[in-house]
Structure formats: structure tokens, C-alpha cells
Chains A and B, each alone.
Chain A
Amino acid sequence: MGVKLNALLKSPWVFHLSTGSCNNCDIEVLDCLTPRFDIERFGMLLAGSVRHADVLLVTGSANRKSMERVKKLYEQVPKPCLVVAIGECALSRGMFINSYNCPVPVDKIIPVDVYVPGCPPRPEAIIAAITKLIGKVKKGAEKS
């Protein structure tokens, strides 16, 4: 595994992208930054600008309006980047599955690396997902 990838996994800056969620998952994401969970000990920071981000945290069921924005934001992240879908809505549209306004789940719009189920997922679940993601990327790098 190269220095580049190692450094990326030790300082993943996250960008929080809400595609029209009910704000519950967003609050759980913010909980991860509080002293109780403190994800900064893994080097993670909440980036204000998408250009500084390494990981996109997508919450909410992407609707017809936000679909294009999600695509645009994904294109604006400097590569290499990873995508985490957080919450039932982002995974499978949740209760909006029959809605006229939510044609596809998030992973049909942009490639998703890890899924965190829950409505909303607990902060522990989000942190566990990130550690699994790091493990997955490491395994993938060893294979190639």
C-alpha cells in the first residue's frame, strides 16, 4: 500500500451532503464530531468546501431536483474519493419508495462504497461503517 493511500485513510476529511433528508441522519453525523464520539482522533474533519473533501457522506432520498446536484458535487470532489450512504432513505429511499419524486436510490446516481442502514443510524454505526470502509480499501489495495 502506497504512502498516498495510507495518508488518505489516516486523514479522511468528510463532506456532508444532504439530498433532501429529514435532518435526522444529519444530526447523527454531527453527533460523531461531539466529544462523546470524537472522530477527530482518527484524523477526520468536517470540510466546509467539497474541494477539501475525501469522503462524501450522503443522506436522504435523492429527489428529481437534487439528483443533478449530487452528480455535480461528486464530480467536484478531488479524486481519489469515497462515498458513504447514510440512512434508510439514501440506501433504498425508505418510506419514499413509491414517491413520484424519488425515481432511484443514491447508488444508482453515484458509486457508493459503504452503506449504513438505520432510520437514523446510531453514531456508533457510522463510525463502524467508516472503519469497515478503511479495511475494505486496504484489502482492495493489497489485491491490486
Chain B
Amino acid sequence: MTVLFLFVALGFVATAVIGLLACGLDRKVTARVQYRVGPPLWQPFIDMAKLLGKENLIPAGASQITFFAAPLVGLAAVTLVSTILWLNSIHPARGFGGDLIVALYLLSIPSISLMMGGFASGNPYASLGASREMKAILSYELPFVLAIIVPVIKSGYAIRLGTITRFQLQQGLTAGNLSGLLAFIVAVLCVQAKLGLVPFDVAEAEAEINSGPLIEYSGASLAVYRLMKSMLFFVLPFFLIMLFLGGAHSGGWPRCALKYIGLVALITVIRNTNPRLRIDQTVKFFWGPVTLTAAIAVLLALAGV
């Protein structure tokens, strides 16, 4: 019963509502940065309702089952991750050993579902976008994992999210010392790429390859993809807060909400003040300076700084 409650009410509904609101906030802030009025805060909800009422078209050259299954796979993965995160922030003792690794795996499935959908739709632009998405995963996944090793080392090699957040309650935030701060910066950049936002939105570059893997999606399938992206907009910053900023335990829920809003604002500002990188520049950026920084952070963490 409680598991079902966690999965449906918190993992899906609460995450979707917060994620869509965060997307609305992102659009509003973007508009204000560009001296515009911008859409109302609840615009993503209206978009979602509209897309659910539209016709769902299948391209002639697509493989139908994969085409329809891909968005659902992504949505299911995000819902599972958010359930794990909620469980760990409400009952830290009830998490299972290794849930950090499970969350890491599940967090790469949304990108894989985008690739599946892109290749299944049989459109050249979609294939191009999907192959770019693949290169982007290869580039940012290494520094992301390296950055996440830092809080693991700091908390005495714990791979349970609950243990990591409780450790921070006693010993101070992971981002409070040098190695943690470096890892946090690396992780924020990787989250930017995982969310597919400028400067790392090569896979979806809407002015260049017409929103890449999503080009053939319409109606309810597109709504599911957009919902998945919005939920990631809640899940990924929340994941970082748990690992680096103490989660919901240090300072309680109001402080956690403030941290979340701050992180969303940071991501929005990064996205509004940078031009798009090409795919080769993205790979060079992540495999060069970012991986180097992450490796230094791991070495510093091993040295105890």
C-alpha cells in the first residue's frame, strides 16, 4: 500500500506537477531575461492537455511498436527514479543497498528512450538527432559518474542514498568542501546536458535539425515525451540536492525547496547566457576539462580534502 502510494502519488503525480511548474518557471524566467512578458506559469499544463487531445500520427516508414513504446519506457524509468528519491527522503532507513547505482542506471534510460524513438521513426533528422544523443551520452556519462563517486567516498563508501544524506546531516554538506564543490560543479554541467538544454542541446537543436528525435512525434506520444522531460527537470536537480546539498533532512522541506528553486534558476541562467555547442565541441568539453576536474575532485576526496 505505502509502496503503491509512493509510486503513484509521489513518484508520478507530485513529480509531474512540480516538474511542469519548474518548466513554466523556466519559460517565464527565459522570457524575462529576453525582456518579454512570457507565457503564464501553468502554460506547460495547457500544452499537455492540448497534446493529449490531438491526433497521434504514425509515419509510414516507422516500426510501430518501438515508436509507441519508446516514450513510455522513458516515462516509466523517470517515475521509478523519482520513487526511489522520494522513498529515501521520507524514510531514509527504508532504501535498499545500492539504490544510488540503480538510480544512475535509470537516469540514463530517458536518453536511450529518445534514441529508440528517434531511430524507430525512420526520419533522417530523427536518426541524426538520435546519433547525436548517443554521442552526448558517451561524453557526459563518464564525468557524471566520477562526480558522483565523490559523495560516495566522502560518506565512507556508502552506496545507499539514505546513508549519504544522513552522513551529510552529521558531517556537513558534501558541497561544503573543495572536492565536493568541484564535483558539484561538474554534476551541474552534466545535468544540463542530461536535460538536453542549451548549450548542450545538440540532439534537439530545433533551429538546425527540427527537434531531432521528436520530429515525427505528435499528439499523446509527444505529450509523454514532454512529461518525461519535465519530470527529469525535477528528478535530476533533486538527485543533486540529495548527493551534494544534504537532501530534505538538513534544514527540512522548506530549505530543500529553496535549494531546488535555486538550482532550477542556475540551470535556466546557464541556458539563457550560452550559445549552442556543436556535438564535437560538446564531446571535447566533457572529455577534456570536465572529466579532468571530476578526476581531480575524486583524488582530492581520496586525500580527504
Contacts and interface: CB of A to CB of B under 8 A. Distances in A.
Contacts of B47: 7, 11, 43
B211 A35 contact: no
Interface stretch (B52-60, B93-101, B232-240, B257-265): B52-60
Contacts of A42: 39
Given A40-B39, A78-B56, A3 B218 contact: no
A38 B38 contact: yes
Contacts of A35: 34-36
Interface string B107-141: 00000000000000000000000000000000000
B31 interface: yes
B280 interface: no
B6 to A, nearest CB: 29
A52 B218 contact: yes
Given A76-B57, A80-B54, A41 B216 contact: no
B219 A7 contact: no
A7 B38 contact: no
A10 interface: yes
B302 interface: no
A104 to B, nearest CB: 27
A38 B28 CA distance: 12
Q: Among the interface residues A35, A40, A48, which one has the most CB atoms of the partner chain B within 10 A?
A: A48
B269 to A, nearest CB: 18
Given A43-B39, A43-B47, A49 B216 contact: yes
Given A51-B216, A78-B219, A79-B55, A40 B46 contact: no
A8 to B, nearest CB: 5
B49 A49 contact: no
B210 interface: yes
B299 to A, nearest CB: 44
Contacts of A49: 210-211, 214-216
Nearest to B45: A7
B111 to A, nearest CB: 20
Interface string B17-53: 0000000000100010011111110010011011001
Chain B interface, DSSP helix/strand/loop, else mixed: loop
Given A41-B36, A51-B218, A4 B49 contact: yes
Interface residues on A, range: 20 to 34
A8 B216 contact: no
A52 B55 CA distance: 10
Interface residues of B, number: 30
Chain A interface, DSSP helix/strand/loop, else mixed: helix
Interface string B45-88: 01101100111110000000000000000000000000000000
A26 interface: no
B207 to A, nearest CB: 7
A88 interface: no
Contact of A51 (B35, B50, B217): B217
Interface in B211-228: 211, 214-219, 222
B219 A11 contact: no
A107 to B, nearest CB: 23
Given A10-B50, A11-B50, A51 B57 contact: yes
Nearest to B210: A48
A48 B39 contact: no
A42 B40 CA distance: 8
B210 A8 contact: no
Contacts of B217: 51-52
Contact of B36 (A3, A10, A38): A38
Contact of B207 (A8, A48, A52, A76): A48
A7 B43 contact: no
Interface string A1-43: 0011101101100000000000000000000000100101111
A8 B49 CA distance: 8
Interface of B: 27, 31, 34-40, 43, 46-47, 49-50, 53-57, 206-207, 210-211, 214-219, 222
Interface of A: 3-5, 7-8, 10-11, 35, 38, 40-43, 48-49, 51-52, 54, 76, 78-80
